[in-house]
Protein backbone atom coordinates (compact mmCIF):
# COMPACT_ATOMS: atom_id res chain seq x y z
CA UNK A 1 0.00 0.00 0.00
CA UNK A 2 2.74 2.45 0.92
CA UNK A 3 4.26 2.32 -2.56
CA UNK A 4 0.92 3.24 -4.09
CA UNK A 5 0.32 6.02 -1.56
CA UNK A 6 3.79 7.47 -2.08
CA UNK A 7 3.35 7.52 -5.84
CA UNK A 8 -0.03 9.22 -5.58
CA UNK A 9 1.29 11.81 -3.13
CA UNK A 10 4.18 12.66 -5.46
CA UNK A 11 1.87 12.87 -8.45
CA UNK A 12 -0.61 15.07 -6.59
CA UNK A 13 2.11 17.33 -5.20
CA UNK A 14 3.52 17.90 -8.69
CA UNK A 15 0.06 18.68 -10.00
CA UNK A 16 -0.63 21.00 -7.04
CA UNK A 17 2.54 22.97 -7.71
CA UNK A 18 1.33 23.74 -11.23
CA UNK A 19 -2.24 24.60 -10.15
CA UNK A 20 -3.01 28.36 -10.23
CA UNK A 21 -3.43 29.87 -6.77
CA UNK A 22 -6.96 30.88 -7.70
CA UNK A 23 -7.99 27.24 -8.14
CA UNK A 24 -8.34 24.14 -6.04
CA UNK A 25 -7.01 20.74 -7.06
CA UNK A 26 -9.93 18.35 -6.54
CA UNK A 27 -9.56 14.56 -6.47
CA UNK A 28 -12.35 12.03 -5.91
CA UNK A 29 -11.53 8.61 -4.46
CA UNK A 30 -14.22 5.98 -4.93
CA UNK A 31 -14.63 2.24 -4.61
CA UNK A 32 -17.03 -0.37 -3.31
CA UNK A 33 -17.80 -0.62 0.43
CA UNK A 34 -14.88 -2.27 2.17
CA UNK A 35 -12.34 -1.31 -0.47
CA UNK A 36 -10.21 0.82 1.86
CA UNK A 37 -10.84 4.07 -0.01
CA UNK A 38 -11.22 6.09 3.21
CA UNK A 39 -7.83 4.90 4.43
CA UNK A 40 -6.23 5.82 1.12
CA UNK A 41 -7.83 9.27 0.88
CA UNK A 42 -6.97 10.15 4.47
CA UNK A 43 -3.36 8.99 4.11
CA UNK A 44 -2.81 10.97 0.90
CA UNK A 45 -4.30 14.10 2.47
CA UNK A 46 -2.19 13.71 5.61
CA UNK A 47 1.04 13.22 3.67
CA UNK A 48 0.33 16.19 1.41
CA UNK A 49 0.01 18.39 4.48
CA UNK A 50 3.27 16.99 5.84
CA UNK A 51 4.93 17.69 2.49
CA UNK A 52 3.56 21.25 2.50
CA UNK A 53 5.03 21.93 5.95
CA UNK A 54 8.38 20.48 4.91
CA UNK A 55 8.38 22.80 1.90
CA UNK A 56 7.67 25.83 4.12
CA UNK A 57 9.81 25.29 7.25
CA UNK A 58 10.00 28.96 8.21
CA UNK A 59 6.26 29.52 8.53
CA UNK A 60 4.67 29.11 11.95
CA UNK A 61 1.10 27.85 12.39
CA UNK A 62 0.88 26.88 8.75
CA UNK A 63 -2.71 25.91 7.84
CA UNK A 64 -3.37 22.63 6.07
CA UNK A 65 -3.19 22.82 2.30
CA UNK A 66 -5.19 19.60 1.84
CA UNK A 67 -8.59 18.63 3.20
CA UNK A 68 -9.90 15.08 3.40
CA UNK A 69 -13.64 15.19 2.72
CA UNK A 70 -15.80 12.06 3.10
CA UNK A 71 -19.23 12.20 1.48
CA UNK A 72 -20.99 10.34 4.30
CA UNK A 73 -22.46 13.63 5.53
CA UNK A 74 -24.66 13.53 2.44
CA UNK A 75 -26.62 10.53 3.68
CA UNK A 76 -30.31 11.31 3.80
CA UNK A 77 -31.48 11.56 7.40
CA UNK A 78 -33.48 8.77 8.98
CA UNK A 79 -36.48 11.09 8.94
CA UNK A 80 -36.08 11.59 5.19
CA UNK A 81 -35.83 7.83 4.66
CA UNK A 82 -38.99 7.34 6.73
CA UNK A 83 -40.81 9.83 4.50
CA UNK A 84 -40.07 7.83 1.34
CA UNK A 85 -42.77 5.81 -0.39
CA UNK A 86 -41.17 2.55 0.84
CA UNK A 87 -39.48 3.47 4.14
CA UNK A 88 -38.74 -0.13 5.10
CA UNK A 89 -36.66 -0.67 1.97
CA UNK A 90 -35.11 2.80 2.26
CA UNK A 91 -33.81 2.08 5.77
CA UNK A 92 -32.69 -1.45 4.86
CA UNK A 93 -30.81 -0.14 1.82
CA UNK A 94 -29.22 2.85 3.54
CA UNK A 95 -25.90 3.34 1.81
CA UNK A 96 -27.35 2.77 -1.67
CA UNK A 97 -27.00 5.66 -4.10
CA UNK A 98 -30.65 6.67 -3.79
CA UNK A 99 -30.23 7.21 -0.02
CA UNK A 100 -27.77 10.08 -0.56
CA UNK A 101 -28.48 13.74 -1.30
CA UNK A 102 -26.70 13.88 -4.65
CA UNK A 103 -27.91 17.43 -5.54
CA UNK A 104 -26.50 18.82 -2.28
CA UNK A 105 -23.16 17.12 -2.90
CA UNK A 106 -23.02 18.53 -6.41
CA UNK A 107 -23.67 22.02 -5.02
CA UNK A 108 -20.70 21.63 -2.67
CA UNK A 109 -18.46 20.66 -5.60
CA UNK A 110 -19.66 23.71 -7.55
CA UNK A 111 -19.00 25.98 -4.56
CA UNK A 112 -15.46 24.62 -4.23
CA UNK A 113 -14.90 25.17 -7.94
CA UNK A 114 -15.45 28.93 -7.59
CA UNK A 115 -12.20 30.91 -8.01
CA UNK A 116 -10.25 31.64 -4.84
CA UNK A 117 -9.99 35.36 -4.18
CA UNK A 118 -8.89 37.40 -1.11
CA UNK A 119 -12.53 37.59 -0.04
CA UNK A 120 -13.10 33.81 -0.21
CA UNK A 121 -14.68 32.43 2.95
CA UNK A 122 -14.56 29.04 4.60
CA UNK A 123 -17.02 26.57 3.09
CA UNK A 124 -18.62 23.99 5.36
CA UNK A 125 -19.62 20.43 4.52
CA UNK A 126 -21.69 18.04 6.64
CA UNK A 127 -20.24 15.15 8.61
CA UNK A 128 -21.92 11.99 9.88
CA UNK A 129 -22.53 11.25 13.57
CA UNK A 130 -22.43 7.49 14.07
CA UNK A 131 -23.84 7.78 17.58
CA UNK A 132 -27.11 9.28 16.34
CA UNK A 133 -26.78 7.74 12.84
CA UNK A 134 -27.51 11.00 11.04
CA UNK A 135 -25.59 13.80 9.29
CA UNK A 136 -24.37 16.90 11.12
CA UNK A 137 -24.73 20.06 9.04
CA UNK A 138 -21.84 22.48 8.48
CA UNK A 139 -19.37 20.39 10.47
CA UNK A 140 -16.31 20.05 8.18
CA UNK A 141 -14.57 23.33 7.34
CA UNK A 142 -12.83 23.78 4.00
CA UNK A 143 -10.81 26.96 4.44
CA UNK A 144 -9.79 29.20 1.56
CA UNK A 145 -6.22 28.09 2.32
CA UNK A 146 -7.18 24.50 1.51
CA UNK A 147 -6.19 24.21 -2.12
CA UNK A 148 -6.29 20.42 -2.42
CA UNK A 149 -9.53 18.61 -1.63
CA UNK A 150 -9.50 14.81 -1.47
CA UNK A 151 -13.11 13.63 -1.67
CA UNK A 152 -13.97 10.08 -0.68
CA UNK A 153 -17.14 8.08 -1.24
CA UNK A 154 -18.77 5.17 -2.97
CA UNK A 155 -20.39 7.03 -5.83
CA UNK A 156 -17.83 9.64 -6.83
CA UNK A 157 -17.06 8.02 -10.19
CA UNK A 158 -20.59 6.84 -10.90
CA UNK A 159 -21.87 7.56 -14.39
CA UNK A 160 -25.29 5.95 -13.93
CA UNK A 161 -28.27 6.71 -11.72
CA UNK A 162 -28.86 10.28 -10.55
CA UNK A 163 -27.20 12.66 -13.05
CA UNK A 164 -25.65 14.71 -10.25
CA UNK A 165 -23.06 11.99 -9.57
CA UNK A 166 -21.75 12.13 -13.12
CA UNK A 167 -21.77 15.93 -13.21
CA UNK A 168 -19.81 16.11 -9.94
CA UNK A 169 -17.33 13.52 -11.22
CA UNK A 170 -16.75 15.50 -14.39
CA UNK A 171 -15.84 18.57 -12.31
CA UNK A 172 -12.96 16.75 -10.59
CA UNK A 173 -9.35 17.11 -11.69
CA UNK A 174 -8.80 13.40 -11.16
CA UNK A 175 -10.87 10.31 -10.38
CA UNK A 176 -9.24 7.47 -8.44
CA UNK A 177 -10.84 4.07 -7.92
CA UNK A 178 -9.81 1.56 -5.27
CA UNK A 179 -10.22 -1.94 -6.67
CA UNK A 180 -10.65 -4.88 -4.29
CA UNK A 181 -11.74 -8.52 -4.70
CA UNK A 182 -15.33 -8.88 -3.53
CA UNK A 183 -14.45 -11.66 -1.10
CA UNK A 184 -11.84 -9.43 0.59
CA UNK A 185 -14.34 -6.58 0.88
CA UNK A 186 -16.91 -8.96 2.34
CA UNK A 187 -14.53 -10.10 5.09
CA UNK A 188 -13.76 -6.50 5.98
CA UNK A 189 -17.43 -5.54 6.01
CA UNK A 190 -18.39 -8.42 8.30
CA UNK A 191 -15.68 -7.44 10.77
CA UNK A 192 -16.62 -3.76 10.58
CA UNK A 193 -20.35 -4.34 11.04
CA UNK A 194 -19.80 -6.47 14.15
CA UNK A 195 -17.23 -4.12 15.72
CA UNK A 196 -19.37 -1.03 15.05
CA UNK A 197 -22.55 -2.65 16.36
CA UNK A 198 -24.39 -2.42 13.04
CA UNK A 199 -24.86 -6.19 13.23
CA UNK A 200 -24.98 -8.33 16.42
CA UNK A 201 -22.96 -11.22 15.00
CA UNK A 202 -21.07 -12.39 11.92
CA UNK A 203 -24.10 -14.12 10.42
CA UNK A 204 -26.18 -10.93 10.44
CA UNK A 205 -23.16 -8.91 9.28
CA UNK A 206 -22.69 -11.26 6.34
CA UNK A 207 -26.36 -10.94 5.45
CA UNK A 208 -26.10 -7.15 5.45
CA UNK A 209 -22.97 -7.28 3.32
CA UNK A 210 -24.60 -9.61 0.80
CA UNK A 211 -27.98 -7.88 0.63
CA UNK A 212 -26.87 -4.25 0.69
CA UNK A 213 -23.16 -3.40 0.62
CA UNK A 214 -22.10 -5.77 -2.15
CA UNK A 215 -25.26 -5.06 -4.15
CA UNK A 216 -24.25 -1.39 -4.04
CA UNK A 217 -20.71 -2.40 -4.90
CA UNK A 218 -21.76 -4.10 -8.12
CA UNK A 219 -23.67 -0.98 -9.15
CA UNK A 220 -20.56 1.09 -8.45
CA UNK A 221 -18.35 -1.17 -10.58
CA UNK A 222 -20.82 -1.54 -13.43
CA UNK A 223 -21.60 2.19 -13.60
CA UNK A 224 -18.05 3.45 -13.13
CA UNK A 225 -16.74 6.17 -15.40
CA UNK A 226 -13.22 6.01 -16.80
CA UNK A 227 -10.79 6.96 -14.03
CA UNK A 228 -7.27 8.36 -13.92
CA UNK A 229 -5.97 5.92 -11.32
CA UNK A 230 -6.77 2.35 -10.32
CA UNK A 231 -5.43 1.52 -6.87
CA UNK A 232 -5.34 -2.13 -5.91
CA UNK A 233 -6.31 -3.00 -2.35
CA UNK A 234 -5.33 -6.46 -1.23
CA UNK A 235 -5.44 -8.28 2.09
CA UNK A 236 -2.24 -7.12 3.71
CA UNK A 237 -1.46 -5.71 7.14
CA UNK A 238 -2.02 -2.09 6.12
CA UNK A 239 -5.49 -2.69 4.68
CA UNK A 240 -6.91 -5.00 7.36
CA UNK A 241 -10.10 -3.73 9.04
CA UNK A 242 -8.54 -3.55 12.50
CA UNK A 243 -5.84 -1.28 11.08
CA UNK A 244 -8.41 1.15 9.69
CA UNK A 245 -9.30 3.36 12.62
CA UNK A 246 -9.90 6.15 10.12
CA UNK A 247 -11.77 3.85 7.75
CA UNK A 248 -15.27 3.52 9.12
CA UNK A 249 -16.43 3.61 5.48
CA UNK A 250 -19.41 5.54 6.87
CA UNK A 251 -21.54 4.08 4.10
CA UNK A 252 -24.06 2.48 6.42
| CA 171 and chain centroid, separation | 16
Give the residue numbers spanning the domain of 117. 2-235
pLDDT tens by residue, 212-251: 999 999 999 999 999 999 999 876 655 444 333 333 444 4
Asked, for residue 207, whether it belongs to a domain, the answer is yes
Average pLDDT over residues 106-122: 97
Asked, for residue 136, whether it belongs to a domain, the answer is yes
Asked, for residue 240, whether it belongs to a domain, the answer is no
Banded pLDDT at 252 (limits 50, 70, 90): very low
Asked, for residue 194, whether it belongs to a domain, the answer is yes
pLDDT tens by residue, 167-195: 999 999 999 999 999 999 999 999 989 99
Asked, for residue 250, whether it belongs to a domain, the answer is no
Residues 6+ apart with CB under 8 A from 15: 25, 173, 174
- pLDDT of 64 reads 94
Average pLDDT over residues 18-29: 98
Asked, for residue 143, whether it belongs to a domain, the answer is yes
Q: Which residue pairs from 198-207 have beta carbons closer than 8 angstroms and sit at least 24 positions apart in sequence?
A: 198/252
- pLDDT, mean over the chain: 91
Asked, for residue 249, whether it belongs to a domain, the answer is no
CATH number at 149 reads 3.40.50.300
Asked, for residue 227, whether it belongs to a domain, the answer is yes
Portion of the chain with pLDDT greater than 70, in percent: 92
Calpha distance 233→34 (Å, rounded):
10
Residue 59 has pLDDT above 60, yes or no: yes
The residues with which 229 forms a beta bridge, in sequence order, are 176
The number of distinct structural domains making up the chain is 1
Amino acid sequence: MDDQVNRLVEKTWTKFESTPRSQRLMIAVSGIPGSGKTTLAAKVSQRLNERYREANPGLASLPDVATFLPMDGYHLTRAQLSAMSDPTTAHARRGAAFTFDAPAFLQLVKDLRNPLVPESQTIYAPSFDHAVKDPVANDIPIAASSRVVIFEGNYLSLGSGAPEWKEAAQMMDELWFVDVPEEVARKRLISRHVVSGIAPNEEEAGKRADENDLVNGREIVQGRLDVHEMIYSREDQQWKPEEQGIDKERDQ
